[in-house]
Structure 1
Amino acid sequence: MHIRSYQPSDYIEIANLFHKSVHAIKQSFYSKEELEAWAPTPPDYTDWKARLLEKKPFVALENNGIIGFIELESDGHIDCLYVHPEHQGSGIASQLLQHLRMVAQKKKITRLHVEASKVAMPFFKKSGFTLIKENHINLRGQSLLNYSMSSNTQP
């Protein structure tokens, strides 16, 4: 596995990875309706193309396929961290976060912050993030629960 910067040709593969990752979440965490609100079927590739050109995520690749991605905004916000369902639990998210921390330090960003899902919150907590508050986000007619968390760029 290696990590590289986003390329414009990645947008369909990333949109599909995001959709698969969200819809692989057990319904004990989020209902089918909540998952569909979070990641509508089919993905809107036009929106994803525009979004990713702005966000410019880092992507994890294995055998020339994208298996994960992470986004860093200039204020230290991590907007997305997703790993393909077939690769979850294999350290990809940790490697992406470690890469992001190094990039953030080079950019003189001292704090990272994220709104983590119920599924991602334990990962971020284990990675040195502190829980700030619980959020209820209204999205496409559904109320989704997530958690505001923050960390220094050096854990």
Structure 2
Amino acid sequence: MGVKARRIALRPFLPADTAVLAALFRTSIEELTGDDYDVDQQEAWAAAADDEAAFGERLAGLLTLIATHEGQVAGFVSLKDNEHIEMLYVHPQAAGMGVGAALCEAAETLARARGAKAMSVDASDSALGFFQQRGYAPQQRNSVSLGDVWLANTSMKKPLGAEARMQ
């Protein structure tokens, strides 16, 4: 797996990526969150990509980076206001290959370079352990309404100062 992780390349989002990222978003939710969310919750969550034009506009309005592996899109991260991970999704076939870590590290590096002192994320229950392993600390639990369905997530924060890089 270490060899595969070294082949991960990052590039900026382009409008032409919208359909691929919308499909990756849906697939990631459907295949990677089943232990924490029921089918109704997954469908409500994935519906955010149903209007691909709006989804693409959302991605374009954020600092969005795409990870590729062997020429295939493997994941993406979107940074809001230089300090909040708005979205981080990895294709199920790339899970465990270091794609999420590479994307998160890139977002943190960009945020730090742009003057952010801390990063935040509203982590799904499925992503909570990933972010905890990266030094994010839970701040509060949230309930999010998507139509008539409720989803839980956890607001988390991580300091980005020089001392945080030493860990």
Q: Give, as a single letter, the amino acid of the residue that structure 2 aligns with 1:70.
A: V
1:17-52 residue CA offsets vs partner (Å, 9 max, x unmatched): 000000113533100000000002973212112111
1:30-75 residue CA offsets vs partner (Å, 9 max, x unmatched): 0000000000297321211211121131110123221100111125
1:100-142 residue CA offsets vs partner (Å, 9 max, x unmatched): 1111111011110010001101100010000001111111211
| Deviates further, 41-50 or 141-150 | 41-50
Q: Give, as a single letter, the amino acid of the residue that structure 2 aligns with 1:52.
A: L
Contact 2:82 2:111 in 1 (8 A): no
Corresponding residue for residue 76 of structure 2: 69
Residue identity over aligned pairs, in percent, reads 28
Corresponding residue for residue 103 of structure 1: 110
Q: Give, as a single letter, the amino acid of the residue that structure 1 aligns with 2:101.
A: S
Corresponding residue for residue 119 of structure 1: 126
Please, which runs of 5 or more residues in structure 1 have no aligned partner?
A: none
How many residue pairs end up in the alignment?
155
Alignment partners' CA distance in 2, 1:41 and 1:115: 16
Corresponding residue for residue 142 of structure 1: 149
| Deviates further, 7-16 or 56-65 | 56-65
Q: 1:10 aligns with which of 14, 17, 32?
A: 17
Please say if 1:57 is aligned against 2:59: no
Cα 1:42–1:53 change in 2 (3 A) is closer
The residue matched to 1:143 in structure 2 has which SS?
strand
Q: Give, as a single letter, the amino acid of the residue that structure 2 aligns with 1:81.
A: L
Q: 1:24 aligns with which of 31, 39, 44?
A: 31
Cα 1:48–1:91 change in 2 (3 A) is same
TM-score, with normalisation over the residues of structure 1? 0.94
Contact 2:84 2:119 in 1 (8 A): yes
Contact 2:136 2:158 in 1 (8 A): yes
Aligned 1:123-134 pairs, distance under 5 A: 123-134=130-141
The residue matched to 1:24 in structure 2 has which SS?
helix
Corresponding residue for residue 3 of structure 2: none
The residue matched to 2:106 in structure 1 has which SS?
helix
Q: Give, as a single letter, the amino acid of the residue that structure 2 aligns with 1:64.
A: G
The residue matched to 1:27 in structure 2 has which SS?
coil
